[in-house]
Structure 1
Amino acid sequence: MTTVEQPEPTGPVAGRTAKGPAPTATIDVDRSDPAYRTWLKDAVRKVQADANRSADTHLLRFPLPEHWGIDLYLKDESTHPTGSLKHRLARSLFLYGLCNGWIRPDKPVIEASSGSTAVSEAYFASLIGVPFIAVMPRTTSAEKIRLIEFHGSRCHFVDDPRRMYEEAAALAVDTGGHYMDQFTYAERATDWRGNNNIAESVYQQLRLERYPEPAWIVATAGTGGTSATIARYVRYMQYDTRVCVPDPENSCFFEGWTRDDPRAASDCGSRIEGIGRPRMEPSFLPGAIDRMMKVPDAASVAAVRALEKAIGRKAGGSTGTGLWSALKIVAEMVAQGRTGSVVTLICDPGERYLDKYYSDAWLAEQGLDIGPYAATLDEFLATGAWPG
């Protein structure tokens, strides 16, 4: 099923990363050296210990009328030590890079990121004592930049988000470091069959609920790694759950999925930080996804503000993109007389975006009118009917 809410963007095809390991300078470490192996074992232990001492994230209820017979849950990934869903990804990427021999003592790790992955990777780089450089758009929120620098890492800014990949790869060669390349390795680094991945965690937390197997899981896509993990796990475990991926404006994922076009591209970056890409990323797996929606940015902002009214929590714009789509799915279920559960994600905290999604001045500057979308949500939550 395809839902179109806004014309998909088009644009020239951006450059793709090469297959295989991301560009790295000549390796100058003897991997049989006892000192290196001692460092490696200690680094892996520290990263694994982070997971061991971190409790699982909460599954929150979004209040809906009881008589609808539908439960909506939000997996609160903002409670990770670095405050976002990307903490899981960064941990997996560091273990992947360490065990592959790509991350080495005293050599920098470089990442192309719109912010949250870089915050989490900066944390893990500090944990194991290697330098970290985040290549990111100049428009990244000031709070994310502050958090990256708080962990002792450096930000390298680009004016065109499509150039992040090239800049990161070049920095890896120039510094002798390793380009982590989350957009290629996100779907490979995570164990999608289980091992307490996000999908397994959701099902474990739902096991005592009245609808333990959700009808839908809604997951936005930046790298595509989370949606790939969830969709693969659902199929592996033979569940009937469907997976929906909402896509923001200025992202090509929706176009690539609907047209089965791996070369789909957008000519500018997403306003919703952390999701949407100007090219079809290697970790985005269209074939694993059951449905996509195109969500206007103003709808995403209206949804995060509705979330704050409903549960008293601020969240980032990507959470709003997912929540808007989840609520639309709930509306369809109500209209069809179906019961069940729907799950979406709180990706990161809204305090990182007070100067954006919670700023009326920013909305005016961007030409975004959230009024009609806020009215849609208010009417739906009051009546159970989706306007229009």
Structure 2
Amino acid sequence: MNAWVNAALSKIEADFNRSSDTHLIPLAIPALPDIHLYFKDESTHPTGSLKHRLARSLFLYGLCNGWVREGTTIIEASSGSTAVSEAYFARLLGLPFIAVMPCGTSPEKVRAIEFQGGRCHLVDDPKSIYAVSRQLAQELNGHYMDQFTYAERATDWRGNNNIADTIFHQMALEPHPVPDWIVCGAGTGGTSATFGRYVRYQKCSTQICVVDPENSVFYDSYYTGDDHLTCEGGSGVEGIGRPRVEPSFIPEVVDRVIQVRNAASYGAIHFLESVLGRKCGGSTGTNLFGVCELAAGMHRNGREGAIVTLICDSGERYLDSYFNQDWLAAQGIDIAPWVERYQRFFTTGEWDG
């Protein structure tokens, strides 16, 4: 192994050593006092999202496999957050970075990538980002990180301070230290794979629920068993939902998939702002819908316990979209009934209907 790779590995490990773990934030559901809800706040990573963990793992994986060397141009197919985090690590190592992304990616995320020193390559067809990324890597003699293939294998799912490991350590002193459910979205599918493998390896009773937005294939694929399904365009929630079943999505370690309307996701983050006092990204809203479905089911069955989900990124990245009333109106979306539904659930426990 050459000196540059040794130095690169040391820089990434030093960056990890400087970072404290993210907080686990409790949020009471007043109408359901026996069900405890927690949000793992991934927005506090240096690059502002859950994808910081993935980007670190992908760089270590690429370096140790000999794919990333001094001067290597890094290319990634990304709707935004992964690209922001990979741009950060590329700049840490002094490497050029190009993000291939759909034209509809929020301007805030484009600016965040460019702030980290990356360059954005926008494409009209979201499904073309894979082929375009591979082509750029070939033309530039670079490395296509391919988060959608390597997310599930770059992370050590057995432990080693991964997100599942940290959640269970943080839950140790809670009334229900082993959560009944962990709820997350699927973009690459790597996060749900990590959670699902970890709880099985640790012999935990925790179940894994994936929430899937509109115009995404994970829900239909999970319940039909067809992993060749595709759809046109992208989902309405950046960072989750895909037009194809990604290689990193492992359905065998997922216990349930819930389909979520975009209006429900957007309404959820407006409601969360009122109870958390902060803006969260759209995928956090998708998570909250899944939490409410599961909590309502537990309540109906007379069960007490805990549910853990994620704050995937900050809502400050979506001021021009999910938090913009003109944007919502242009999409023909009325979030008011959904905000009211979440408020009603938290105060009365009524969810269905």
TM-score (norm 2): 0.99
Query: In the alignment, does 2:239 pair up with 1:309?
Result: no
Aligned residue number for residue 193 of structure 2: 228
1:88 partner amino acid: R
Shift of 1:387: 3.1
Pick closer, same or farther for the CA change 1:322–1:67 going to 2, 3 Å: closer
Shift of 1:371: 2.1
2:209 partner amino acid: C
Aligned residue number for residue 84 of structure 1: 49
Classify the secondary structure of the residue corresponding to 2:219.
Answer: helix
Query: In the alignment, does 2:95 pair up with 1:130?
Result: yes
Shift of 1:379: 1.3
Shift of 1:160: 0.8
CA contact (8 A) 1:75 1:202 kept: yes
> Comparing 119-128 with 264-273, which one deviates more in the overlay?
264-273
Shift of 1:378: 1.6
Shift of 1:272: 0.3
Deviation by residue 1:188-222 (Cα, 9 ceiling, x = unmatched): 00000000000010000000000000000001110
Alpha-carbon distance in 1 for matches of 2:339, 2:213 = 17
Alpha-carbon distance in 1 for matches of 2:179, 2:201 = 15
Shift of 1:147: 1.0
2:174 partner amino acid: E
CA contact (8 A) 1:214 1:341 kept: yes
Equivalences for residues 43-62 of structure 1 within 5 A: 43-62=8-27
Aligned residue number for residue 164 of structure 2: 199
CA contact (8 A) 1:379 1:387 kept: no
Deviation by residue 1:286-344 (Cα, 9 ceiling, x = unmatched): 11100000000000011111111011011100010011111221111122211000000
CA contact (8 A) 1:335 1:385 kept: no
1:318 partner amino acid: S
Equivalences for residues 288-327 of structure 1 within 5 A: 288-327=253-292
Query: In the alignment, does 2:144 pair up with 1:179?
Result: yes
Query: In the alignment, does 2:73 pair up with 1:73?
Result: no
Aligned residue number for residue 380 of structure 1: 345
Identity %: 59
Alpha-carbon distance in 2 for matches of 1:314, 1:354 = 9
CA contact (8 A) 1:109 1:125 kept: yes
Equivalences for residues 146-165 of structure 1 within 5 A: 146-165=111-130
Shift of 1:67: 5.9
CA contact (8 A) 2:210 2:257 kept: yes
Equivalences for residues 1-388 of structure 1 within 5 A: 37-65=2-30, 68-388=33-353
CA contact (8 A) 2:29 2:347 kept: no
Classify the secondary structure of the residue corresponding to 1:257.
Answer: helix
CA contact (8 A) 1:137 1:159 kept: yes
Aligned residue number for residue 11 of structure 1: none
CA contact (8 A) 1:68 1:334 kept: no
Large movers: runs of 4+ above 6 Å: none
Alpha-carbon distance in 2 for matches of 1:66, 1:210 = 18
Shift of 1:48: 1.1
1:367 partner amino acid: G
Shift of 1:364: 1.0
* Cα root mean square deviation, aligned: 0.9
TM-score (norm 1): 0.90
Alpha-carbon distance in 2 for matches of 1:380, 1:106 = 54
Alpha-carbon distance in 2 for matches of 1:207, 1:181 = 35
Shift of 1:66: 7.4
CA contact (8 A) 2:35 2:304 kept: yes
Higher relative contact order (CA 8 A, sep 6+): 1
Alpha-carbon distance in 2 for matches of 1:248, 1:105 = 39
> Comparing 337-346 with 60-69, which one deviates more in the overlay?
60-69
Alpha-carbon distance in 1 for matches of 2:337, 2:54 = 35
